[in-house]
Amino acid sequence: NLEDKGQDFLSFYVQGNRIIATWPFQGHIWNGRKLTASEFAPGDSLIFADDGLTLRYRVESVEEISEKQLSKLSINVLPVVAS
């Protein structure tokens, strides 16, 4: 989960270092992008591997969810692939 500064996306679902889902909006922009890290903690900045962009919204909290829980969410999820 990200800091809420009024942006259109509040959560990234990440597998390995790849964003597989975005909530509630802008999945078409963020899904599929890779981050430079695969583990996160509150206060961390997210940096994108392809262009070095640092997201201006820091990590607020981290939750682990199962694939089953993820499938129950009303969001578009990229196919889960082995890392």
Distance CA 67, CA 43 (A): 25
Distance CA 71, CA 83 (A): 19
Find how far residue 39's CA is from the centre of its chain. 11
User: Does pTM top 0.95 for this prediction?
Assistant: no
Distance CA 63, CA 71 (A): 15
Distance CA 22, CA 61 (A): 15
- Output 53 or 82, whichever has higher pLDDT: 53
The predicted-structure confidence for 63-79, as pLDDT tens digits, reads as follows 998 878 877 776 767 66
> 60: burial class by Cβ within 10 Å (0-12, 13-18, 19+)?
middle
